[in-house]
Structure 1
């Protein structure tokens, strides 16, 4: 299942890159900044955002982050368990 998701994100990245490469030569700022050129610039920025999001997934940054957060959560649980054990040991001594 994971490789299918990566394949889809790779395909989406290639499609978005192709769209950007087709659109960039058609955007001309020689005539000044008008609504059409402004739309083209915003469209390209949005396409680059889509490319970046797909590359973020493909490079596995989310997976690394998830693993790091899981390690932190486990360490916190161990600390809480040690504190709990210390409290119960002290209360049983009374």
Structure 2
């Protein structure tokens, strides 16, 4: 599976966040450094959340479920078309 790469990305983002947080200026007046620190931290947390979601999700099961829904929709359309053809023939 490809989940190992999300684990590596997650660890890298956590490492960068742990390394940078003590060095970022996050309190005080709204200076450019404070805004940068807050935005950088938010982006790092977004990357962490995305990789956690990728690790937690079951993509293959989701793909099979969507394929089953599409097959059911195609079957329903086929049945409706058959009923219309039958009605036109007077059947």
Q: Deviations over 1:44-74 (max 9, x none)?
A: 1111111122222211254454334323222
Aligned residues, how many? Answer: 91
Identify which of structures 1 and 2 has the higher relative contact order when contacts are C-alpha pairs closer than 8 Å and 6+ apart. 1
Runs of at least 4 residues of structure 1 off by over 6 A? none
Q: Is the 8 A contact 2:7 2:55 kept in 1?
A: yes
Please state if 1:55 is matched with 2:52: yes
CA contact (8 A) 1:9 1:54 kept: yes
Q: TM-score, normalised by structure 1?
A: 0.78
TM-score by length of 2: 0.80
Please give the alpha-carbon distance, in whole angstroms, between the structure 2 residues aligned to 1:12 and 1:43.
Answer: 16
Instruction: Indicate how the Cα distance of structure 1 residues 31 and 72 shifts in structure 2: closer, same or farther if over 3 A, else same.
Output: same
Question: 1:78 offset after TM fit, Å?
Answer: 1.5
Within the candidate set 7, 15, 19, 2:16 is matched to: 19
3-state SS, counterpart of residue 89 of structure 2: helix
In structure 1, C-alpha distance between the alignment counterparts of 2:28 and 2:20, rounded to whole Å: 17
Structure 2's unaligned 5+ residue stretches are none
Structure 1 gaps, min length 5: none
